[in-house]
Amino acid sequence: MPTQEKVMVKVGLSSCGIAAGGLNVFDALQKEIKKAGLDVKLQKTGCIGLCYLEPIVDVVSTNGELISYKEILPDKVGRLVQEHLVENKPIDEWIIKDRNDIISKQVRVALRNCGVIDPESLEDYRATGGYKAIEKAIKEMTPETVIEQVLASGLRGRGGAGFPTGLKWKFTRQSPGNEKYIVCNADEGDPGAFMDRSILEGDPHSVIEGMMLAGYAIGANVAYVYCRAEYPLAIKRLQKAIDDATNEGLMGDNIFGSNFSFTVKIKKGAGAFVCGEETALLASLEGERGMPRLKPPFPAQKGLWKKPTSINNVETFANVPWIIYNGPEKLAAYGVGRSRGTKVFALAGKVAKGGLIEVPMGITLREVIYDIGGGIRGGKEFKAVQLGGPSGGCIPKSLIDTSVDYESVTATGAIMGSGGMIVMDETTCMVDMARFFLNFVQNESCGKCIHCRLGTKRMLEILNRITEGKAKPEELDLLEELAYNVKEGALCGLGQTAPNPVLTTLRYFRDEYEAHIYDRRCPAKVCNQLLTYSIDPDKCTGCKVCAKRCPAEAIQGERKESNVIDQEKCIKCGNCFNACKFGAVQVE
């Protein structure tokens, strides 16, 4: 790292850091640094990706040496300031020892500035080469050359479908008409996904510059960011970045003395999952109800207000300035086959080290989950990973060495999606997991087409019966038949991919479905209606703690004697199992 005039103290203040108490830590640091009379620069920054260790405080010495501290709460701040900043004695037990190991296994392009710079500082962004790419494009390159470089980089849309970004821009530029638009899809709705939010919170200027380059390439002067209203911090920092860039003359009219003008506007979405589909998003931007439209025509031909429009997501735009600034061959050097560059993932679920990562295409799932994610929490056995959210699918343990690239992931029945990666262990019921995702999609269906509106409802009803132990054997074939019918008949991509979690779990975990239907048993012991709670008389001490926790008064017996559970009264809530400290309550 470069040398600097002052010691710098950084506090991670993206949503994860703030939720963990980062704002109170920042205030406490301000007071303690002032109290000690130190000439130290205190800075807010975004998420470095180690969300499981928040609040994180970085101390950067004048020679660039970085020490990261984990789980710093206000009561630790006094000691940190005194021992590290005053006495220059780092506190060993608080240091994140494996920080460099985790980061070094990644390749950070879209996340290059997240957790490094102050996201609200234009000066910080420019110090990293910010807005040099758009300046280079305007002064030295034609729009066609920009498109050629994006094509040469191999960059594909990071929002799910993986369509070549340069090709989309080329089609939009070639469409007739002088009025064209750029749209940034920041309507991140997958459960467990937070990639776009973290980029907007940690490096909003990179997204703005990416949109500017896209606008220059296709001949558009206006861009819209469609961001869900549930991301208030992302919207706040993005708006500040737009205002700062405009005030500095980096955006607006005649940029860098050229004929190119560009403005960015923010549209807050109401949180409808279907508005992640590009044509539904456009309808919402126009003030209509967010419902998909038939394609063709595609947005590149007839998009926003029936004008040619190029739509990409946050991560895609964040890649573009880096490509133009460093050259397309640098990004193309990473990856395999037709999947070039890097991909950001939100690691969530039963993984030990959850958070945000960016890895080169071609890395294996095993490397992501074990080498970067630290394996499974509590030493439990890995079972599957859900890729692509509700539109994706489950990849089982037997395929853990699958290469993370578009073609390999699609071959498993899952999709890359926007980058949600939910890890599951032996305690996960795959039938219940499929039911959860289908319930989400069914609730979020816009209702425009019958296959999605009614097909997913019928599928969900079957899954509910399976988890309740009420399904008939023939319903398993009906579930699969419905899944394929919905996949083939739904109007938009979201409806067409809605059955994926069901189809992949049927493909890889059919034995679990059969156990639920034929044996009325949940192997993972998750589905309450299929569980039986009993008390082992040899282990029961008669302490009566379980009886006090039972809302149905189903536990009978005297104190200091073995108790029993009345199966007719038992509502299978599991309170007795959680309350027993002697392992006497058994679940079958």
483 CB neighbour count, 10 Å cutoff: 23
Are residue 413 and residue 545 in the same domain, yes or no? Answer: no
Instruction: Please give the residue range of the domain that contains residue 458.
Output: 430-518
Report the domain count for the chain: 5
* 105 is a domain residue: no
Domain finish residue from 518, 543, 570: 518
* 498 is a domain residue: yes
Burial class (CB in 10 A: 0-12, 13-18, 19+), 288: exposed
Are residue 134 and residue 21 in the same domain, yes or no? Answer: no
pTM of the full structure: 0.93
Short-list 439, 539, 449, 545, CA closest to 493: 449
Are residue 86 and residue 191 in the same domain, yes or no? Answer: no
Per-residue confidence (pLDDT) for residue 192, from 0 to 100: 85
* 441 is a domain residue: yes
67 CB neighbour count, 10 Å cutoff: 17
Per-residue confidence (pLDDT) for residue 189, from 0 to 100: 86
Per-residue confidence (pLDDT) for residue 191, from 0 to 100: 87
- N-terminal to C-terminal alpha carbon distance within the chain: 56
Residues 6+ apart with CB under 8 A from 450: 489
Are residue 499 and residue 548 in the same domain, yes or no? Answer: no
Per-residue confidence (pLDDT) for residue 270, from 0 to 100: 87
Are residue 483 and residue 541 in the same domain, yes or no? Answer: no
* 109 is a domain residue: no
Are residue 130 and residue 267 in the same domain, yes or no? Answer: yes
Instruction: Report the C-alpha gap between 95 and 79 in whole angstroms.
Output: 13
Are residue 129 and residue 278 in the same domain, yes or no? Answer: yes
Per-residue confidence (pLDDT) for residue 1, from 0 to 100: 53
Q: What is the CATH number of the domain that holds 446?
A: 1.20.1440.230
* 524 is a domain residue: no
* 111 is a domain residue: no
Per-residue confidence (pLDDT) for residue 455, from 0 to 100: 96
Q: What is the CATH number of the domain that holds 190?
A: 3.40.50.11540
Instruction: Report the C-alpha gap between 130 and 118 in whole angstroms.
Output: 13
Domain finish residue from 487, 518, 549: 518
Task: Please report where in the chains the tokens 């009561």 appear, as a residue.
Answer: 75
Are residue 281 and residue 369 in the same domain, yes or no? Answer: no
Domain finish residue from 282, 304, 332: 332
* 81 is a domain residue: yes
Instruction: Report the C-alpha gap between 413 and 400 in whole angstroms.
Output: 14
DSSP output for 248-301: TTSSBSSGGGSS--BEEEEEEE---GGGGSHHHHHHHHTTS------SSSPTTT
Q: What is the CATH number of the domain that holds 365?
A: 3.10.20.600
Are residue 438 and residue 570 in the same domain, yes or no? Answer: no
Are residue 263 and residue 156 in the same domain, yes or no? Answer: yes
Are residue 498 and residue 444 in the same domain, yes or no? Answer: yes
- Sign of the alpha-carbon torsion through 531, 535, 536, 540: positive
* 108 is a domain residue: no
Are residue 207 and residue 273 in the same domain, yes or no? Answer: yes
Q: Count CA atoms within 13 Å of residue 283 on its CB side.
A: 16
Q: What is the CATH number of the domain that holds 75?
A: 3.40.30.10
Point out which residues pair with 41 in neighbouring strands: 8
Helix (H/G/I), strand (E/B), else coil: 376: strand
pLDDT along the chain (588 residues), means of 10: 81 97 98 96 97 97 95 98 96 95 94 97 97 98 98 94 95 97 94 93 98 98 96 98 98 96 96 92 95 94 97 97 98 96 96 96 97 95 94 95 96 91 96 96 93 96 96 96 96 92 97 96 93 93 94 93 93 92 92
